[in-house]
């Protein structure tokens, strides 16, 4: 990210690409920022990239994947000059309605640890299909101050 987000009076769109992230599976960015709007692409629980190795989830459990997914979202927010405080909306995609209560418990503990006084954002949770082995995906829309 450059310090400013405009050039010659024009607002520019900047790709956000944390160096730790695995390469996206197609021509898209893990995050983009334009003016005060920052969009985080759907993140899953992949561990930091290891060269020559396929993307690997943090573990098979919902807990491992949820915490890694939060870390991946946070890295993109920070690389784009934002924080959890700027997030307006999180979309949580789970694969099993039976995971809702456990995800909420992990979610609440995580945001308490992050020191957020208030509820961080609006949220929608729905149950969809995800690639085999993945239990959660999260994307986020942030508006910077």
Q: Which residues bind its own copies (CB under 8 A)?
A: 10-13, 15, 24-32, 34-37, 39-42, 85-86, 88-91, 93, 97, 100, 104, 107-108, 111-112, 116, 118-132, 137, 139, 141, 143, 145
Closest CB 41 distance from its own copies, rounded Å: 4
Closest CB 10 distance from its own copies, rounded Å: 5
Nearer to its own copies, 17 or 56 (CB): 17
Closest CB 124 distance from its own copies, rounded Å: 3
Nearer to its own copies, 8 or 52 (CB): 8
Nearer to its own copies, 3 or 27 (CB): 27
The 8 Å CB, 24+ separation contacts for 17-20 are 17/79, 18/72, 18/75, 18/76, 18/79, 20/48, 20/49, 20/75
Of the candidates 98, 88, 74, 83, the one whose C-alpha atom is nearest the C-alpha of residue 123 is: 88
CA dihedral (69, 96, 28, 80) in degrees, to 10, reads: -30
Nearer to its own copies, 20 or 97 (CB): 97
* Parallel, antiparallel or unpaired: strands 10-11 and 13-16: unpaired
Q: Partners of 10 in the beta sheet? A: 7
């Amino acid at each position: 990210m450059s310090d400013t987000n405009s050039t010659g009076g024009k607002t520019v769109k900047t790709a956000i690409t944390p160096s730790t992230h695995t390469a996206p599976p197609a021509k898209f960015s893990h995050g983009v920022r334009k003016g005060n709007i920052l969009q985080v692409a759907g993140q899953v629980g992949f561990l930091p990239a290891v060269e020559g190795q396929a993307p690997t989830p943090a573990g098979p459990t919902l807990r491992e994947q949820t915490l890694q997914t939060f870390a991946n979202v946070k890295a993109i927010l920070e690389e784009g000059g934002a924080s959890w405080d700027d997030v307006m909306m999180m979309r949580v995609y789970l694969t099993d309605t039976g995971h809702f209560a456990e995800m909420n418990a992990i979610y609440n503990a995580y945001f308490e640890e992050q020191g957020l006084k208030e509820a961080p954002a609006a949220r929608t949770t729905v149950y969809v299909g995800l690639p085999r082995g993945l239990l959660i995906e999260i994307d986020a829309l942030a508006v910077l101050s």
